[in-house]
Amino acid sequence: MPSQYLWLIPILPFTGFLLNGTLGRRLPRAAVTGIALLFTAIPAALVAWLWATMKAAGAPESISVVSRPWIAVSGFQVNFAFAVDHLTLIMLGVVTGVGFLIHLYSAGYMAHEEGYWRFFAYLNLFMFFMSVLVLAESFLLLFVGWEGVGLASYLLIGFYFTKDSAANAGKKAFIVNRIGDFGFLLAMFLLIAHFGSLSFTQVFASITAHPELQGGFLTAIALLLVLGAAGKSAQIPLYVWLPDAMEGPTPVSALIHAATMVTAGIYMVARCHTLFDRAPIALTVVACIGAATALFAATIGMVQHDIKRVLAYSTVSQLGYMFLACGVGAYGAGVFHLMTHAFFKALLFLSAGSVIHALSGEQDMRKMGGLRKKIPVTFWTMTMGVIAIAGIPPLAGFFSKDEILYQAFISPNPYGKLFWAVGLLTAGMTSFYMFRLWFKTFFGPEHVEEHASHDHHADAHFSHGVHESPWIMLFPLVILAILSIIGGWVGVPAALGGHNELEHFLEPVFATAAPITTEAASHGLELTLAAVSVATAAIGFFIALFFYWMRPGTIGRAVGGTKLYALVSNKFYIDELYGFLIITPLLAATRLVLDLLIDRGVVQGSGKAAGLATEGIGSLTRRMQSGNIRSYAGWLALGAAAVIVVMVFGRFWIF
Amino acid sequence: MVPIAYYLVLAAILFSIGAASFLIKRNIVTIFMSIELMLNAVNLTFVAFAHMWHQVQGQIFVFFVMVVAAAEAAVGLAIIIAIFRTRQTLNVDQINLMKN
């Protein structure tokens, strides 16, 4: 594909956004759907073409297109530049491919919603910014996409803006991300100060050209970038927005808050691997954050009752995995998991959406059950997703997760074994909570008679009863289910008889990354580790099987009242802690300083002072305006006398 | 030949008397007269300068002023009579119906 067509990939969804955003209100629904789907299908096709071009023998490792200067001040220049290498290609494939499938699904899921055109306009806007983000060749353009997807995320979380909780969740996501973006901005300033450029090629080339640069300011830049990535990818301590983001419509959760946007942080870290490789401290921080988040979120995920919240915490946990992979220098494994996760998590969210759709808006798993027969297609596709995420071979999740665990185990990092143990524990917990969800939703007694209207979604088809979703929703599910099954086969490690094609595919990008350890010697170890993690997943499954299939209810009675359960099910009171530690003092300071001192003191005070001064002067001068003709005449005579005095004697004063 | 300064000083004295009595007096008729006095002070300076420069414009201007003053006196006195008939007073301080 000629490089000048690269522009089309982001521009087309933007056209869709403009069309639907301006005219959508007046267009029929079919036209809105047509526009939205067409302008995401063409980029997907373009990416497929691009993929074919770049896979061809002798194709360049990266192609780029550069505009005229965008910002040019003395000695510093940023262009609108797009570049595609193999890493970008994978991201583009995920974004446009999964994006298109979710657009298709949304056409069915949102069919009865108010603001249909608005939803698709926002989705197309998101696709535009996300493609800008992954195509960008400079930190600044990446930041444009970064902020843009944040905006689209905010708009879509708050899609049901009449609902307070949705509006607040949108604000929370936006504000928490601001903290991360602040770090990103500072990192960019440091980059400008030290390298005089924001272009990836230039910055990384000058890092490579100076092997003496180790740690120091590179660590500072890397840590600030990590702050940005932690915001976007919902890592500790900025993960709190993602579970609340589930207030948005389910396709949004699937597209933005599982498959694409939240992986932007991992993409960014992988993109900057040259920088991170020189900052071992920052890498260790990344790995620690990742491991802690993975474990922490999985713990919370085990006790949630809202089906979407379970998936949300699962997403946070899996993102932690990817962070962990990047932290131990296994960027390829991180991107691999990013890709497979995009498949199976999008699938899980969309299936959950299909379940919610079937139950007319019910999201509480305690009110579900026995849906296996009623919605068989959803059941089977979701089963594929559950098995894939639980890490059971040969589905996608197994290969990518195992790769991460293996890389953590053999990494030269002194905490490598600890990271591995945490990852393994998390894998077990993941398996447990996913099968818990599975059993609670599809097995056991039915509770579906009660039609609690919980969501906006409920109103439109309240009386339909439990029903399978239309084919426009099931088709994406089936495609994603197939991808969840076979998606991992591109990265089968050599120990299991594969070639790990993905690793080799990404090699040109990560060539300068940490040396890949000798593979032949560790096949036995890798197989052992794989066996251990499969066993862990199986244990998770059997625990779930025991407590939610064989003896349902026992675990609820056993732990329901304990303090530990209360602690976990209240999400460790992190929101309350943040509220107490940050928001309350901030609000108090705001009220005291900004409101009382600045607003009421300075701003209102100066207004009042001006008013009082005017009044005072007025009360003096209004005596001139007595309404008495003779006093006016007196002033007139006085003025005339003054003019004469100035004219006669003035020259002596002035000259 | 009388020097011009004499005329000017006389005119200034007349004008000051007129201005002062305009400010001080309360009777409308007196105020009216003081306005005439000021006008005539100005007229005096006009003719004085006209004489000094041997030019006729100043004298012509004086005729204009006198015509306007006569017309004004006619209208003004009519108004004064009308006011006296309705208000039974000529004190300007008491003619304040429009005030407040």
pLDDT digits (tens, 9 = 90+) for A292-311: 999 999 999 988 889 999 99
Distance from CA of A162 to the nearest CA of B (A): 56
Q: Spell out the SS3 assignment of A362-430.
A: CCEHHHCCCCCCCCHHHHHHHHHHHHHHHCCCCCHHHHHHHHHHHHHHHCCCCCHHHHHHHHHHHHHHH
Residue A124: predicted pLDDT: 94
The candidate with the shortest Cα–Cα distance to A99, out of A505, A480, A485, A491, is: A480
Instruction: Please identify among residues 73-92 of chain B the ones whose CB lies closer than 8 Å to any CB of chain A.
Output: 92
Question: For chain A, what is the radius of gyration of the CA atoms?
Answer: 30
**Across the interface, do B19 and A627 touch by the CB < 8 Å criterion?**
no
Distance from CA of B58 to the nearest CA of A (A): 22
Residue B99: list chain A partners with CB under 8 A: 627
Residue A634: list chain B partners with CB under 8 A: 23
Residue A312: CB partners within 8 Å, gap ≥ 6? A242, A243, A245, A246, A253, A257
The answer to whether the beta carbons of residues A119 and A173 sit under 8 Å apart is no
Q: Is A633 on the interface with B (CB under 8 A)?
A: yes
**Across the interface, do B92 and A629 touch by the CB < 8 Å criterion?**
yes
Residue A78: phi, psi to the nearest 5? -125, 135
Between A116-135 and A29-55, two packed helices, what is the crossing angle to 10 degrees? 20
Lowest mean pLDDT, pick from A138-142, A377-381, A511-515: A511-515
Residue A437: CB partners within 8 Å, gap ≥ 6? A307, A310, A311, A365, A386
Question: Positive or negative, the Cα torsion across A374, A380, A385, A391?
Answer: positive
The answer to whether the beta carbons of residues A66 and A79 sit under 8 Å apart is yes
Q: Is B37 on the interface with A (CB under 8 A)?
A: no
Distance from CA of B16 to the nearest CA of A (A): 10
Rounded CA separation A39/A473 (Å): 19
Residue A80: phi, psi to the nearest 5? -75, 100
Residues facing A84 on adjacent strands:
A63
The candidate with the shortest Cα–Cα distance to A94, out of A307, A347, A308, A294, is: A347
Structure tokens given for A635: 């002033």
Residue A291: predicted pLDDT: 93
pLDDT band, very low/low/confident/very high, at B26 (cuts 50, 70, 90): confident
Residue A522: predicted pLDDT: 67
pLDDT band, very low/low/confident/very high, at A579 (cuts 50, 70, 90): confident
pLDDT digits (tens, 9 = 90+) for A500-542: 777 778 877 776 544 454 444 567 888 888 889 899 999 999 9
The answer to whether the beta carbons of residues A456 and A361 sit under 8 Å apart is yes
Average pLDDT, chain B: 91
Q: How many residues does chain A have?
A: 655
pLDDT digits (tens, 9 = 90+) for A209-256: 888 888 788 999 999 999 999 999 999 889 999 999 998 899 999 999
Distance from CA of A633 to the nearest CA of B (A): 7
Decide if pLDDT at A371 tops 70: yes
Instruction: Say whether A313 sits in a helix, a strand or coil.
Output: helix
Rounded CA separation B44/B38 (Å): 10
**Across the interface, do A633 and B23 touch by the CB < 8 Å criterion?**
yes
Mean predicted confidence (pLDDT) in A84-94: 91
Share of chain A above pLDDT 70, in %: 94
Among the partner residues B23, B93, B99, nearest to A637 by beta-carbon distance: B23
Give the CA distances from residue A24 to residues A152, A158, A555, in Å, rounded to whole numbers and listed in that order: 17, 19, 51
Decide if pLDDT at A19 tops 90: yes
Mean predicted confidence (pLDDT) in B96-100: 73
Residue A462: predicted pLDDT: 43
Decide if pLDDT at A419 tops 50: yes
The answer to whether the beta carbons of residues A67 and A52 sit under 8 Å apart is no
Lowest mean pLDDT, pick from A2-6, A132-136, A276-280, A598-602: A2-6
Decide if pLDDT at A57 tops 80: no
CB atoms within 10 A of CB A346: 30
Rounded CA separation A371/A553 (Å): 18
Rounded CA separation A301/A436 (Å): 10
Residue B91: list chain A partners with CB under 8 A: none
**Across the interface, do B22 and A630 touch by the CB < 8 Å criterion?**
yes
Q: Is B23 on the interface with A (CB under 8 A)?
A: yes
Decide if pLDDT at B56 tops 60: yes
pLDDT digits (tens, 9 = 90+) for A430-467: 999 999 999 988 887 876 554 444 444 444 444 457 77
**Across the interface, do A627 and B23 touch by the CB < 8 Å criterion?**
no
Name the closest residue on chain B to residue A626, using Cα atoms: B99
Reported in sequence order, the residue ranges of A74-191 that DSSP labels E, i.e. its strands, are 76-84
Q: Is B5 on the interface with A (CB under 8 A)?
A: no
Residue B32: list chain A partners with CB under 8 A: none
The answer to whether the beta carbons of residues A541 and A431 sit under 8 Å apart is yes
Question: For chain B, what is the radius of gyration of the CA atoms?
Answer: 17
pLDDT band, very low/low/confident/very high, at A470 (cuts 50, 70, 90): confident
Residue A469: phi, psi to the nearest 5? -75, 160
Domain limits of chain A? 1-213, 306-569, 577-609
Q: Is A594 on the interface with B (CB under 8 A)?
A: no
Q: Using the structure block, give the residue that is written with the tokens 């770049």.
A: A54
pTM score, whole prediction: 0.79
Distance from CA of A175 to the nearest CA of B (A): 60
Name the closest residue on chain A to residue B20, using Cα atoms: A634
For A204, the enclosing helix (H) or strand (E) is helix A200-209
pLDDT digits (tens, 9 = 90+) for A620-655: 888 877 777 778 888 888 998 899 888 888 776 655
**Across the interface, do B92 and A637 touch by the CB < 8 Å criterion?**
no
What structural domains and CATH numbers belong to chain B?
A: 4-94 (1.10.287.3510)
Residue A629: list chain B partners with CB under 8 A: 92
Structure tokens given for A140: 């600044």
Mutation for testing the A interface, residue in B16, B23, B28, B100 having most A CBs under 10 Å: B23
